Amino acid sequence: MIRLTEIIEKETIRQVLDIGTGDGHFIKTLTELFPEAFFTGIDPSEEAIQTARQSFPDKKYRFETMNAENLVFPNESFDLSTISNALHHLATPEKPYMK
Ligand SMILES: C[S@@+](CC[C@H](N)C(=O)[O-])C[C@H]1O[C@@H](n2cnc3c(N)ncnc32)[C@H](O)[C@@H]1O
């Protein structure tokens, strides 16, 4: 995690997408790294998304039930996308990052 902030200029990150966010566990870490940013977490598990919404009620967070292999966001919506401990769940791991 130290490396992430070494290679990224914090000030350039306003919108963060966390893929396979689950209950939002990794978003806690991301918030510490990018305290000024807004965060979107996506996960196909409705139950996990409900838990995440309850855990992160602030307006800077939003959570959507969504499959990483079928993202509906317009291109260039995010300055940074992350995936923590979920890549192995994807049938085509490269797909979320293809235009
Ligand atoms: C081990 S959990 C990791 C949760 C969180 N990222 C963390 O680091 O604690 C893996 C997550 O990947 C999600 N997942 C599985 N298939 C997915 C897919 N196709 N697109 C997005 N997320 C997926 C699961 O629902 C689960 O919440």
pLDDT (tens digit per residue) in 15-57: 999 999 999 999 999 999 999 999 999 999 999 999 999 999 9
**pTM of the entire structure?**
0.93
Q: Does pLDDT of 96 surpass 90?
A: no
Per-residue pLDDT, averaged over 49-71, amounts to 97
In a domain, 39, yes or no: yes
In-domain check, residue 96: no
DSSP of 36-52, one letter per residue?
A: T-EEEEEES-HHHHHHH
Tell me, yes or no, whether 51 lies in a domain: yes
- Assess if residue 59 is contained within a domain: yes
Is residue 93 assigned to a domain?
no
Cα-to-centroid distance, 6 and ligand 1 (Å): 26
**Which atom of ligand 1 lies at the shortest distance from residue 21's CA?**
6
Residue 1 within any structural domain of the chain: no
Q: Domain count for the chain, please give it.
A: 1
User: How many angstroms separate the alpha carbon of residue 62 from the centre of ligand 1?
Assistant: 16
Domain range for 62: 22-69+77-84
* Interior/surface letters 28-66, b for 16+ CB within 10 angstroms, e for the rest: eebbebbeebbbbbbbeeeebbebbbeebeeeebebbeb
Pocket test for ligand 1, best of 85, 88, 95, 97 (most atoms within 8 A of CB): 85
Residue to substitute in 16, 18, 21 for testing ligand 1 pocket (most ligand atoms within 8 angstroms of CB): 21
Is position 10 within any domain? no
